[in-house]
């Protein structure tokens, strides 16, 4: 597929994340406009509340864009999703007869503040990157026991905190927790010293289900995708994760990009999961290509200094797709809800520069990373800004997600102090 041309000139650049082929969904506000739904096109945002109020977009009997989140649209289902995308494409395409009506509803992205694009119902984070799981397992258990026996058969995951999912640009406070030193028998309550990032993708559930669903049904229920940074306190995690897994180490925050890239926009970039070492059971088997060829990167900028790209990888490295993760999630009868967020797990490749966490890049802190500024890092320091980027690349265009950023703030001096 090639670039679809728009009358919005900035959407026709090969470098923009937001050509007409993309049309991602977000929530924005300005100094004069309250938070509302918008669609990115080039360096502009189409005000969907105004478009609906003026009858330019009219898809259902009841309004969809009188609220500052996209859950109402999700709940309408795939037919409305497709109709909306078709209408937006017609409105913004080169030669559109509606250009005169739509042009006054465009807001410059530079003038907008971005908000959470949807209300997160529940959040589940998976551990489905084989290179990441192998690296971490090798560090802690040795190469011969890197992967637990179940890993190649099911998507491993845990239930996270929907309440701590935040939009890109939100500062992240270094957490306190119980830390266990190898040289001491008992833990101490201290700020995390091994705070980390995890480069992930997040899949958003757009259709509710009640009971087990197939991989194909799960794929059809996914509304879109976001970049996701699962901030992780490795020292808290090391003390708490046995016997029941991650808990407070993962509860500080999870950052997502402000733009939801729809599954429809990513269709030309579908690709297969890696070859299976052991066959999956029938209910989890691949039925078609269900991953996406998305280039991903992480950069780290110390306070007041230039950023260094510390990792580059691709979403196609995942061992299980979001559809397989969702299908597995439902096998017990667990209902899936509109607005559920499914984190992919850390996305790492086979090479060192493709590792999606500092835990891997510094090999547990034993191999410090040297930045372009001359600073070194094993884990995150206060003032560090992390930026995740991602895009699928077509012929003369790209389907991008914008950025997912967060800056690490110092831990509170006294987490229990009250004003």
Q: Which residues are catalytic?
A: 132
CA distances from 110 to 58, 144, 261, 406 (A): 28, 51, 20, 18
Contacts of range 53-59, beta carbons closer than 8 Å, 24 or more positions apart: 54/101, 54/105, 56/91, 56/98, 56/101, 56/102, 56/105, 57/84, 57/87, 57/88, 57/91, 59/83, 59/84, 59/87
> At a CB cut-off of 8 Å and minimum separation 6, what does 225 contact?
201, 202, 203, 204, 260, 261, 263, 266, 292, 322, 401
State both tokens at 310.
Answer: 């510390």
Output the six-digit token pair for 69: 């989140």
Burial 23-44 (b: 16+ CB within 10 A, else e): bbbbbbbeeebebbbbbbbbbb
* Dihedral sign for Cα atoms in the order 285, 357, 352, 313: positive
361 alpha-carbon distance from chain centroid: 20
Partners of 368 in the β-ladder = none
Angle at 316 between CA 213 and CA 158, to 5 degrees: 50
Rg for the chain (alpha carbons), in Å? 22
CB contact at 8 A, 184 and 403:
no
Query: What is the torsion angle, in degrees rounded to the nearest 10, for the CA atoms of residue 289, residue 69, residue 226 and residue 346?
Result: -110
């Amino acid at each position: 597929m090639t670039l679809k041309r728009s009358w919005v000139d900035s959407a026709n650049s090969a470098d923009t994340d937001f050509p007409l082929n993309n049309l991602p969904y977000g929530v924005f506000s300005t100094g004069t406009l309250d938070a509302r739904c918008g669609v990115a096109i080039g360096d502009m945002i189409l005000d969907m509340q105004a478009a609906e109020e003026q009858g330019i977009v009219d898809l259902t009997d009841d309004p969809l864009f009188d609220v500052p989140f996209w859950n109402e649209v999700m709940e309408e289902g795939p037919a409305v999703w497709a109709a909306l995308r078709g209408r937006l494409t017609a409105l913004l395409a080169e030669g559109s007869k509606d250009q005169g009506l739509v042009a006054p509803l465009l807001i410059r992205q530079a003038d907008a503040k971005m908000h959470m694009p949807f209300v997160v119902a529940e959040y589940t984070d998976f551990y489905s990157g084989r290179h990441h799981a192998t690296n971490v397992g090798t560090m802690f258990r040795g190469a011969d026991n890197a992967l637990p026996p179940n890993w190649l058969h099911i998507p491993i995951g845990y239930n996270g905190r929907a309440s701590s999912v935040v939009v890109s640009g939100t500062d992240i406070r270094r957490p306190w927790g119980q830390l266990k030193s190898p040289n001491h028998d008992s833990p101490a309550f201290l700020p995390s010293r091994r705070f980390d990032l995890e480069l992930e993708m997040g899949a958003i559930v757009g259709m509710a289900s009640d009971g087990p669903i197939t991989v194909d049904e799960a794929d059809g229920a996914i509304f879109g995708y976001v970049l996701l940074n699962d901030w992780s306190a490795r020292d808290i995690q090391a003390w708490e994760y046995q016997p029941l897994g991650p808990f407070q180490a993962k509860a500080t925050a999870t950052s997502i990009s402000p733009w939801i890239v729809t599954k429809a926009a990513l269709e030309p970039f579908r690709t297969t999961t890696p070859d299976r070492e052991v066959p999956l059971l029938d209910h989890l088997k691949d039925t078609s290509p269900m991953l996406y060829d998305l280039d991903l990167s992480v950069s780290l900028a110390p306070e007041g200094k230039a950023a260094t790209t510390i990792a580059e990888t691709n979403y196609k490295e995942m061992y299980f797709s979001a559809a397989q993760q969702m299908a597995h999630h439902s096998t017990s009868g667990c209902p899936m809800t509109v607005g559920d967020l499914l984190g992919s797990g850390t996305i790492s490749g086979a090479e060192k520069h493709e590792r999606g966490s500092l835990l891997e890049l510094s090999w547990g802190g034993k191999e410090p990373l040297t930045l372009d500024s001359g600073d070194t890092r094993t884990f995150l320091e206060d003032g560090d800004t992390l930026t995740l980027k991602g895009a699928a690349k077509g012929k003369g265009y790209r389907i991008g997600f914008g950025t997912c950023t967060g800056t690490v703030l110092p831990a509170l001096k006294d987490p229990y102090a009250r004003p």
